[in-house]
């Protein structure tokens, strides 16, 4: 299966210009970051690579990433003023141009934090507004920001995966795609599950209570 499936990946998104990969894609990566962190963000640091590093000012990639962090959509006309909105909300923002070699020309590494927590992810804007999250807190993964998804950090133990899939089955939630990564045998592992629908709070609570589950994050479509 190719990376592009929906006709609306091609005829769309509806967006504020000027660049689908540098503006709309950046908004989506910012939004994914916000959903994954799921807490108040006090500080955002964006490391920009490749074409992102060279042209972010002209394309509004900086405003777009922060617009996403603020939860705006790709067609939100507030995008253009996102930096001042972030400032008003007390979010400190920093951009770093990094010229190290990266596999994809439009790559960003975003670090978000508050007093108690920290999250770091790497996103790629692969064209036409489509994005992929390829790294999360040191785990490699393959997550398109285009479907609802849950990310489950768990202990690499027998039954951890079964306990999650059993809950999803019980609530009749269909899994579109699933991937499991771990740093080492028996250590922390990460399940990436793309779903056909957003999950209800009830399901989320059940998942959080499941065996061997350490942490859960939702990406809402």
165 binds other proteins (CB under 8 A): no
| Sheet-wide strand order for 139-144 | 92-97, 43-49, 106-113, 118-127, 130-136, 139-144
60 binds other proteins (CB under 8 A): yes
Q: Interface residues for other proteins in 189-208 (CB under 8 A)?
A: 196
3 binds other proteins (CB under 8 A): yes
79 binds other proteins (CB under 8 A): yes
70 binds other proteins (CB under 8 A): no
57 binds other proteins (CB under 8 A): yes
Count of residues engaged in binding other proteins, rule: CB under 8 A:
42
30 binds other proteins (CB under 8 A): no
Among 23, 144, 163, 192, binds other proteins (CB under 8 A): 23
CA–CA gap between residue 135 and residue 179 (Å, rounded): 13
Q: Interface residues for other proteins in 98-127 (CB under 8 A)?
A: 105-106, 126-127
10 binds other proteins (CB under 8 A): yes
| Closest to 56 (Cα-Cα) out of 102, 119, 125, 113 | 125
Among 123, 129, 145, 148, binds other proteins (CB under 8 A): 129
CA–CA gap between residue 87 and residue 44 (Å, rounded): 11
| Binding range to other proteins, per CB under 8 A, among 50-58, 112-120, 136-144, 150-158 | 50-58
Nearer to other proteins, 11 or 185 (CB): 11
Q: Which long-range contacts (CB under 8 A, 24 or more apart) does 159-164 make?
A: 159/211, 159/212, 160/189, 160/210, 160/211, 160/212, 160/213, 161/191, 163/210, 163/211, 163/212, 163/213, 164/191, 164/193, 164/207, 164/210, 164/213
């Amino acid at each position: 299966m190719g990376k592009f499936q929906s006709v609306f990946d091609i005829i769309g998104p509806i967006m504020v210009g000027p660049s689908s990969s540098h503006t709309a894609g950046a908004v989506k990566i910012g939004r994914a970051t916000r959903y994954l962190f799921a807490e108040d963000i006090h500080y955002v640091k964006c490391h920009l690579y490749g074409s992102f590093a060279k042209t972010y000012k002209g394309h509004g990639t900086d405003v777009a990433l922060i617009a996403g962090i603020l939860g705006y959509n790709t067609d939100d006309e507030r995008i253009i003023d996102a930096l001042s909105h972030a400032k008003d909300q007390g979010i400190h923002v920093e951009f770093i141009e990094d010229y190290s070699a990266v596999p994809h020309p439009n790559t960003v590494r975003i670090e978000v934090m508050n007093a108690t927590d920290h999250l770091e992810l790497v996103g790629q804007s692969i064209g036409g507004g489509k994005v992929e999250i390829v790294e999360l807190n040191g785990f490699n993964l393959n997550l398109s920001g285009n479907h609802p998804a849950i990310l489950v950090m768990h202990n690499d133990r027998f039954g951890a995966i079964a306990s999650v899939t059993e809950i999803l089955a019980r609530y009749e939630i269909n899994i579109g795609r699933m991937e499991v990564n771990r740093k080492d045998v028996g250590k922390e592992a990460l399940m990436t599950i793309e779903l056909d629908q957003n999950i209800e709070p009830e399901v989320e609570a059940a998942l959080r209570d499941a065996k061997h589950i350490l942490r859960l994050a939702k990406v809402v479509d």
